[in-house]
Amino acid sequence: MKAMVLALSFLVSASYASDRTAAYNLICKPMTFESDRANCLNKVKQYTYFDKRGLTYCSTLNFDTNKLDCLQTIGDRVYEGYEMDHCLNLTFDSQKLECLSNSGTRYNPNRNCVPREETISQLQSSLSELRSGNVRGADMRISNLLERFNDCI
């Protein structure tokens, strides 16, 4: 088992990605006015990739216009875990959005890989899950790593 985990440490990690449907369901669908939902849908259609944690953050904003700005900021951007952590730990929403705008990299659908550091982090989490008896969680995490590795070849 240790050898497998060690070998996996050189693979790519699982990304926390969402698609347009997830973005619509989380951000647009709850909007009160039909015109706001339509504007939101048009914004969502402009992108193919949304960071899952970024979407969750966008959904917490109080005003629909802020949510739309947030979608535009995170759309088609890939964030490392540490980048997202840094930005979301800032105090004000304006600081968080500016940080997200200046962080991450442009999404490339032909290369669905995440750097080695994130892989190591995911594998460490898998080991912790295994040690705590959460075999299912570790299995899912490692399966995602393997799936993502196949996309990188």
Q: What mean pLDDT is predicted for residues 136-142? A: 86
Q: Are residues 14 and 144 in contact, defined by beta-carbon separation less than 8 angstroms?
A: yes
Burial class of residue 65 (count of CB atoms within 10 Å of its CB; 0-12, 13-18, 19+): exposed
Tokens of 103: 């962080």
d(CA 28, CA 21) in angstroms, rounded, equals 10
pLDDT > 80? residue 126: yes
pLDDT tens for residues 25-51? Answer: 999 999 999 999 999 999 999 998 898
In DSSP notation, 41-98 reads HHHHHT-S-EEHHHHHHHHH-SSHHHHHHHHHHHTTEE--HHHHHHHHTSSSHHHHHH
**pLDDT of the residue at 93:** 94
Measured in degrees and rounded to the nearest 5, phi and psi for residue 105 equal -130, 160
pLDDT > 60? residue 9: no
Sequence-separated (6 or more) residues with CB below 8 Å from residue 113: 12, 148, 149, 151, 152
Q: Where are the domains of the chain?
A: 2-14+116-152, 17-106
Residues in the chain: 153
Q: Are residues 76 and 28 in contact, defined by beta-carbon separation less than 8 angstroms?
A: no
pLDDT, averaged across the chain: 81
pLDDT tens for residues 39-89? Answer: 999 999 999 889 899 999 999 999 999 999 999 999 999 888 889 999 999
